[in-house]
Amino acid sequence: MDDVRFAVLGTGGIGRRTLEVSTEKAGVTPVAACDRHGIAVDRDGLDIEELLAATEGNVASDGGAGAVKQHGELSGVAASAQARPTETPIDDVIAESDDLDAVLIALPNLEHDFIPRVAERFADAGYEGVLVDVLKRSRVIGMLDDREATLREAGITFVCGAGATPGFLTGAAALAAQSFVEVEAVEIWWGVGLKSGYRDNRGTVREDIAHLDGYDIETARELTDEEIEEIVDAHDGVLEFHDMEHADDVLLERAGICDAEDVTVGGVLDVRSDEKPTTTTVRVTGRTFDGERGTNTFELDDDTSMAANVNGPALGYLKAAVRRNRTGDYGVYGPAELMPGF
């Protein structure tokens, strides 16, 4: 397989770690990256070390009034010597898309239809290639399905929910389900430690807070950085979630693994420690062909970081999607559909 040339939309926590991980992965070369302040492009491959060093502590907020961490005169990507300021970052990446095999969308989905609208913009511009996101929300999958004909006609292969959960753990559940002829339940329980805290993981923490009792995606979007830090303080830095609206359910259903209502997702986020507050576990319970009932359990090692478990799989799914795209396989896919199926 030829080298995959890709772009990253968004250089918050997920985008930055994707760029960093890509330097250790064979067969992928980041050639463009942007945030709301600037775009960096180098068709021979970005200097990731320089880009990350220039923007360290200088990342635009994913939300909140006027909340921008900055040093020097320029904010975000624009601080890099490889970059230029722009007020139209997505349009600028689209303008470079003839040279791209894939685009990883690492933008916060704080409006339900935001990522689907971004995909539509690439299709309308005539982009032919791969789009991958790490979205979490179940309802967004339907919005992407509504645009599938447009994406297919454009020659786009879109893999949705390709991070850790959904994504890595969705794929693990799909594989574990192969032991059974009937799946009764899929239980996903995750643990994440983020010692760097809210300030360096704004989009992730904000989206997770939307799952707490009394909040939803709309109210979370309107919270200021200070209000979010007050919520974190009120929970002593440890947030616990149950019955989350994570897209694992609809992604497993569309792959034919089980009904969406049979999937539950929850977890614990500690923003003051890099140690995971609980072991990330997938449990798939079902009936085998010979009438036995059992549970297959998959655990992530506690020493693998969120960045490793989100960005490594995202790049893996990206490469798998490029292989499909090059054979003319277009449309919208979930991670479980790239695994063995029933």
Predicted pLDDT at 91: 95
Give yes or no: residues 76 and 207 share one domain.
Answer: no
173 and 280 co-located in one domain: yes
What pTM, to 2 d.p., does this model score? 0.88
What is the phi-psi region of residue 229: left when phi exceeds 0, alpha when psi lies from -120 to 50, beta otherwise?
A: alpha
State the catalytic residues: 136, 207, 211
The total domain count for the chain is 2
Domain that holds residue 234: 168-303
Q: CA torsion, points 175, 180, 184, 188, in degrees to nearest 10?
A: -20
Q: Which amino acid makes up residue 145?
A: D
At residue 23, the 3 state secondary structure works out as coil
Q: What is the CA radius of gyration of the chain?
A: 19
Beta strand segments in the chain, E: 4-9, 28-34, 38-41, 83-85, 102-105, 129-133, 156-159, 182-193, 238-241, 263-270, 281-287, 293-299, 331-333
CA angle 114, 115, 119 (to 5 degrees): 120
Instruction: Give the Cα separation of 319 and 302 in Å (integer).
Output: 26
Specify whether 140 is located in the same domain as 172.
Answer: no
Residue-wise pLDDT for 88-111, tens only, equals: 999 999 999 999 999 999 987 667
Tell me, yes or no, whether 13 and 131 share the same domain.
yes
Q: What is the CATH number of the domain that holds 319?
A: 3.40.50.720
88: its two tokens: 């139209």
DSSP string, 268-311: EEETT-SS-SS--EEEEEEE-TTS-EEEEEEE--TTS-HHHHHH
Residues lower than pLDDT 50 in the chain: 59-72
pLDDT given for residue 71 in this prediction = 46
Task: Check residue 108 and give its pLDDT.
Answer: 72
pLDDT at residue 68 in the model: 41
pLDDT digits (tens, 9 = 90+) for 242-274: 998 889 999 999 999 999 999 999 999 998 888
* Structure token digits, residue 260: 């969406």
